């Protein structure tokens, strides 16, 4: 038996929620475990660590260097971002006893306990690790506090790592860690005046942090349909979105997007687990019952951390003609319960609601349920319902906004040229604005259309700012505003907006892809590639992520990978003819010839169906055929293609900058800050 003591950095890891997942979906849980194991083994080997043993869904590893241990932890979290479950990691540097290739001792125990309190996706370290790595560039920590750990007789100074995609503990987490009965037992008694001061401060602090107004971040969970009729599901989806948008108008709150909350429709996670995953303090549960033309909903406000506790519940009932006021009542009730003082303007927006004609409202909700899917067929269905809503009620502003969104989506998806749709868009939005000047979606649409179809940069800025004023928690406007800011030459502000969008809607692959675009425009190609590959790990066929990834590979001079991504993107579309054209060109020549062959195929197709010249122009751009590229980009300009604003910022156009025809296009676009 060999027995020795030494100083070592010990790393403990754990998959959050693995046990619950194993109980609900064993196959997914095992796949998650296999992937996690592979990520750990690669990272531990890369940073010269020693894999000691697997402990359930976690791993125990030893390192001779604190820096190596932390770098390994960062690598694991970076590569685990696409996993179905989040990993938490704890690291401690201390004396351990090694016996027969196993480790024991206080150092191991502390590392284990530090891991158990870490945030999902986060890395916690003790002071000994912090001191060893604080001079390392690119590694940053923040002091959490002196934490009481189970079976540890003293308070442990604890730090958490900060950086991209690493979570920060919220106020509730701090309260949980720094004010628990177990810790108080371990503290020495303080006598005399010290006891009185400490007790007074503790009482004041306890009252302060437990006031309900401390809840400043919420997620509205999907509405539960109590009717027993699945035909009403479209109604519950619409009500869920409407309640979320109304609460989002309260500027002091952080309200996560509908898209993110839908992830938990059938989730087996507990309320506290959901809250921790989303870094929110409160959760709203809503159930719906419809009887005839009457809607009744029950709303529950739950404090989720440090422990689940319902703090408010109320029933709301309205006839459908007055349903819009119901949403405002819910938002006002929550603000009241959280002691949030609303401004006069906010009160007006929540209270002042128009009546609706039930049939028009239902047609609009059905239209929105199709519009979000964005396929040609779904857009056709959406248009029919929006037009029906407008026919039933010619004064219903959302119906006009919905029709405009369909026309805009058709342009964006390359289904029709902008010249055919833009006149319709303008008249629809003007009418919607006349009918309801406080409708968030109208200003949002104006922001999008002024940027990508009208190219009116000043009016676009006004519309973006107005939308954010109306609903600061609107993730979509933040994401698209980031692209507008890039287009007009404000890249620093752009990154702040896309990060805000992802803070509100972290699971949205479109916004993740748009972040990849922002990184691409900032010429941070390696970061863009890493982000987009992670996005595609969760959404393998996402068309925006694929098209952005092939651009990032191209700009990074990784042409073989750009070619492979082109093939993959057309395979996802089931476009076998395009795939064959790419492969034939690549075999015959190389990457530029593959893109040339694809461009020629699209030109042939354009004889009998609409193909946006933008696609052909960008293929020729990448292939280095500058004259042909400028010719088709000029045609895209004439078509008012929605992608034209990107000629100002996308690095794929670097080699065209000196071309006289391209310079002419830049001048026509009249960018505020040509780049």
Domain boundaries, the chain: 3-178, 213-355, 358-472
Lowest mean pLDDT among 62-66, 328-332, 481-485: 328-332
> Which sign, positive or negative, has the C-alpha torsion 649, 650, 654, 657?
negative
Report whether 543 contacts 535 (CB < 8 A). no
Highest mean pLDDT among 165-174, 245-254, 262-271, 521-530: 521-530
**For 533-592, what is each residue's pLDDT tens digit?**
999 998 888 989 999 999 999 999 999 999 999 999 999 989 999 999 999 999 998 999
Would 3-178 and 358-472 be classified into the same CATH topology?
no
**Structure tokens belonging to residue 40:** 């750990």
**Dist. CA 251–CA 505, nearest whole Å:** 17
Our CA angle for 253, 257, 259, nearest 5°, is 165
Q: Report the top-level CATH class of 358-472.
A: mainly alpha
pLDDT at residue 650 is higher than 60: yes
The pLDDT value given to residue 141 = 76
The pLDDT value given to residue 147 = 83
For residue 249, give the 3-state DSSP assignment: coil
Q: Where are the beta strands (DSSP E) in 281-351?
A: 282-291, 294-303, 309-319
| Local confidence band at 598 (pLDDT 50, 70, 90 cut-offs) | very high
**Dist. CA 621–CA 640, nearest whole Å:** 19
**Structure tokens belonging to residue 41:** 């083994």
Do you know the residue count of the chain?
675
pLDDT at residue 227 is higher than 80: no
CA torsion angle 483 489 491 496 (round to 10): -60
The pLDDT value given to residue 30 = 86
In this prediction, residues 319-344 reach a mean pLDDT of 83
For residue 674, give the 3-state DSSP assignment: coil
Burial letters for 470-504: b for 16+ Cβ neighbours within 10 Å, e otherwise? bbbbbbbbbbbbbbbbbbbebbeebbebbebbbbb
The pLDDT value given to residue 351 = 63
**Dist. CA 126–CA 160, nearest whole Å:** 9
Lowest mean pLDDT among 45-49, 106-110, 284-288: 106-110
| Local confidence band at 192 (pLDDT 50, 70, 90 cut-offs) | very low
**Structure tokens belonging to residue 138:** 């690119």
First to last CA, the chain: 70
Highest mean pLDDT among 142-156, 298-312, 369-383, 507-521: 507-521
| Local confidence band at 344 (pLDDT 50, 70, 90 cut-offs) | low
**Structure tokens belonging to residue 547:** 């098209």
The pLDDT value given to residue 207 = 41
The pLDDT value given to residue 3 = 66
Report whether 537 contacts 506 (CB < 8 A). no
Residues 6+ apart with CB under 8 A from 473: 247, 248, 249, 253, 254, 255, 256, 257, 504
**CA separation (Å) from 152 to 97, 112, 158, 185?**
17, 11, 13, 11
**Parallel, antiparallel, or unpaired: how do β-strands 87-99 and 123-126 relate?**
parallel
pLDDT at residue 616 is higher than 70: yes
Lowest mean pLDDT among 62-71, 191-200, 435-444, 608-617: 191-200
Neighbours of 319 (CB within 10 A): 13
Q: Taking the mean position of all CA atoms in its chain, how far away is CA 228?
A: 32
The fold adopted by the segment(s) 213-355 is Rossmann fold (3.40.50)
Report whether 566 contacts 585 (CB < 8 A). no
| Local confidence band at 140 (pLDDT 50, 70, 90 cut-offs) | confident
**Parallel, antiparallel, or unpaired: how do β-strands 156-162 and 123-126 relate?**
antiparallel
**Structure tokens belonging to residue 654:** 């670097």
Report whether 15 contacts 87 (CB < 8 A). yes
Give the CATH number of domain 3-178; options: 3.30.70.260, 3.40.50.1100, 1.20.1740.10, 3.30.70.1230: 3.30.70.1230
The pLDDT value given to residue 175 = 66
Q: What whole-number percentage of the chain has pLDDT above 90?
A: 43
| Local confidence band at 196 (pLDDT 50, 70, 90 cut-offs) | very low
- DSSP letter assigned to residue 140: E
| Local confidence band at 2 (pLDDT 50, 70, 90 cut-offs) | low
Report whether 148 contacts 113 (CB < 8 A). no
**Dist. CA 285–CA 301, nearest whole Å:** 7
- Greatest CA separation found in the chain? 92
In this prediction, residues 595-616 reach a mean pLDDT of 94
For residue 317, give the 3-state DSSP assignment: strand
The pLDDT value given to residue 101 = 66
Average pLDDT, whole number, for the chain?
A: 85
Report whether 596 contacts 623 (CB < 8 A). yes
**Structure tokens belonging to residue 141:** 């920590």
For residue 265, give the 3-state DSSP assignment: coil
Lowest mean pLDDT among 53-67, 455-469, 597-611, 636-650: 53-67
**Dist. CA 516–CA 508, nearest whole Å:** 13
Report whether 220 contacts 236 (CB < 8 A). no
């Amino acid at each position: 038996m060999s027995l020795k003591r030494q100083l070592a950095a010990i790393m403990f890891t754990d998959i959050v929620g693995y046990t619950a997942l194993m109980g609900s979906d064993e196959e997914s849980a095992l796949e998650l475990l296999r992937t996690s194991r592979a990520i750990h083994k690669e990272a531990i080997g890369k940073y010269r660590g020693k894999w000691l043993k697997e402990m359930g869904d976690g791993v125990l590893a030893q390192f001779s260097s604190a820096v190596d241990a932390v770098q390994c932890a960062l690598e694991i979290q970076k590569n685990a971002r696409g996993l179905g479950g989040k990993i938490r990691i704890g690291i401690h540097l201390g004396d351990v006893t090694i016996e027969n290739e196993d480790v024991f001792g206080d150092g191991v125990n502390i590392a284990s306990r530090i891991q158990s309190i870490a945030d999902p996706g986060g890395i916690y370290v003790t002071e000994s690790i912090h001191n060893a790595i604080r001079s390392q560039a690119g590694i940053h920590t923040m002091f959490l506090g002196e934490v009481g750990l189970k079976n540890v007789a003293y308070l442990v100074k604890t730090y958490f790592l900060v950086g991209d995609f690493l979570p920060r503990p919220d106020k509730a987490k701090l309260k949980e860690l720094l004010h628990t009965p177990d810790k108080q037992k371990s503290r020495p008694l303080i006598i005399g005046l010290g006891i009185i001061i400490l007790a007074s401060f503790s009482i004041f602090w306890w009252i302060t942090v437990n006031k309900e107004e401390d809840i400043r971040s919420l997620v509205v969970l999907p509405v539960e349909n109590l009717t027993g009729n699945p035909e009403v599901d479209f109604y519950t989806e619409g009500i869920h979105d409407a309640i979320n948008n109304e609460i989002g108008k309260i500027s002091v709150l952080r309200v996560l997007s509908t898209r993110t909350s839908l992830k938990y429709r059938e989730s087996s996670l507990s309320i506290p687990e959901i809250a921790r995953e989303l870094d929110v303090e409160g959760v709203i549960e809503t159930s719906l019952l419809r009887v005839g033309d009457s809607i009744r909903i029950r709303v529950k406000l739950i404090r989720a951390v440090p422990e689940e506790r319902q703090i408010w519940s109320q029933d709301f009932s309205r006839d459908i003609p007055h349903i819009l006021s119901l949403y405002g009542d819910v938002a006002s009730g929550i603000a009241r319960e959280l002691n949030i003082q609303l401004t006069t303007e906010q009160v007006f927006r929540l209270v002042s609601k128009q009546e609706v004609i039930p049939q028009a409202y239902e047609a609009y909700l059905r239209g929105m349920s199709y519009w979000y899917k964005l396929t040609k067929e779904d857009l056709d269905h959406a248009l029919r319902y929006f037009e029906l809503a407008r026919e039933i009620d010619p004064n219903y502003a959302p119906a006009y906004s919905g029709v405009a969104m369909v026309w805009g989506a058709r342009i964006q998806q390359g289904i029709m040229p902008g010249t055919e749709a833009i006149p319709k868009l303008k008249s629809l939005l003007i009418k919607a604005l006349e009918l309801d000047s406080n409708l968030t979606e109208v200003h949002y649409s104006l922001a999008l259309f002024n940027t990508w179809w009208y190219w009116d940069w000043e009016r676009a800025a006004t519309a973006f700012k107005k939308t954010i004023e109306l609903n600061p928690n609107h993730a979509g406007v933040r994401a698209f505003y980031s692209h507008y800011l890039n287009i007009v030459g404000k890249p620093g502000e752009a990154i702040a907006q896309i990060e805000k969008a992802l803070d509100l809607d972290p699971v949205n692959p479109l916004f993740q892809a748009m972040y990849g675009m922002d990184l691409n425009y900032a010429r941070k190609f390696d970061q863009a590639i890493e982000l987009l590959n992670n996005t595609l790990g969760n959404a393998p066929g996402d068309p925006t992520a694929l098209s952005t990834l092939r651009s990032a590979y191209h700009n990074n001079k990784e042409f073989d990978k750009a070619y492979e991504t082109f093939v993959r993107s057309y395979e996802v579309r089931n476009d076998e003819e395009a795939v064959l054209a790419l492969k034939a060109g690549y075999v015959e020549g190389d990457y530029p010839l593959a893109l040339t062959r694809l461009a020629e195929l699209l030109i042939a197709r354009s004889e009998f169906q609409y193909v946006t010249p933008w696609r052909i122009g960008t293929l020729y751009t990448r292939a280095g055929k500058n004259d042909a590229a400028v010719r088709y980009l000029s045609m895209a300009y004439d078509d008012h293609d929605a992608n034209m604003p990107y000629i100002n910022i996308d690095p794929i156009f670097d080699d065209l900058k000196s071309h006289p025809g391209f310079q002419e296009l830049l001048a026509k676009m009249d960018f505020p800050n040509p780049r």
